[in-house]
Amino acid sequence: MDFRINSLLASIIVFVNVLLSGCITYQIAKYVEGDELIVPREELEVGKTTLEEALSVLGAPDRVAKVGLENLLVYERALLYRNRIKVGIPLSELIRGSFDIAAYGTLVRYDSLALFFNTEGILSHKTFEKGSSHPYLKTLFADKQ
């Protein structure tokens, strides 16, 4: 019985020594792509606002598409949050190698403003989505099941 306890204690000491000589890192990253979307309600009236007025208020869109007979302007901002943990354990001074384990999680959210203009250049309808898990064009042209 003494031999088992001593070997277990020795194994624990060796294991802890290996872990303590390693390195643990934790990283938090936040990326923002695009400008903040402020939707001016007064300047963008359905049935009244022209394409030129919308462009002068909001500037150049991120994407332009043709949907049927209508022109689509998409303004979008992407927010990415990433958490990562990494554990590195050196194996030996002689072989100069290490054992690395890493895991990460990523969350991306999109703020999207879509403006549809008819053939006369008048705003026919608009949508605004805050915190969506997919970009607007991906959801618009996705296959329906």
For 29-56, what is each residue's pLDDT tens digit? 888 888 888 777 777 888 898 999 999 8
pLDDT of 7 over the 50 cut: yes
| pLDDT tens by residue, 50-93 | 999 999 888 889 889 888 889 999 999 999 988 888 877 766 66
Q: Is the dihedral of CA 116, 36, 29, 107 positive or negative?
A: negative
pLDDT of amino acid 100: 75
| pLDDT tens by residue, 97-137 | 667 778 878 888 888 899 999 999 999 988 888 888 878 77
Nearest to 67 by CA among 122, 113, 117, 111: 117
pLDDT of 5 over the 70 cut: no
In a domain, 94, yes or no: yes
Query: What rounded mean pLDDT belongs to the chain?
Result: 78
Q: Report the domain count for the chain.
A: 1
pLDDT of amino acid 3: 46
Nearest to 72 by CA among 123, 122, 34, 114: 114
Between CA 116 and CA 65 the distance in angstroms is 10
Q: By mean pLDDT, which of 1-10, 21-30, 125-134 is the weakest?
A: 1-10
In a domain, 42, yes or no: yes
Nearest to 73 by CA among 91, 51, 48, 42: 51
In a domain, 9, yes or no: no
In a domain, 11, yes or no: no
Using only C-alpha atoms, the chain has a radius of gyration, in whole angstroms, of: 27
pLDDT of 142 over the 80 cut: no
In a domain, 16, yes or no: no
Between CA 12 and CA 8 the distance in angstroms is 6
pLDDT of amino acid 145: 41
pLDDT of amino acid 140: 63
In a domain, 89, yes or no: yes
In a domain, 55, yes or no: yes
Domain range for 69: 24-140
In a domain, 52, yes or no: yes
Between CA 19 and CA 98 the distance in angstroms is 12
pLDDT of amino acid 124: 92
Are 92 and 116 within 8 A, CB to CB? no
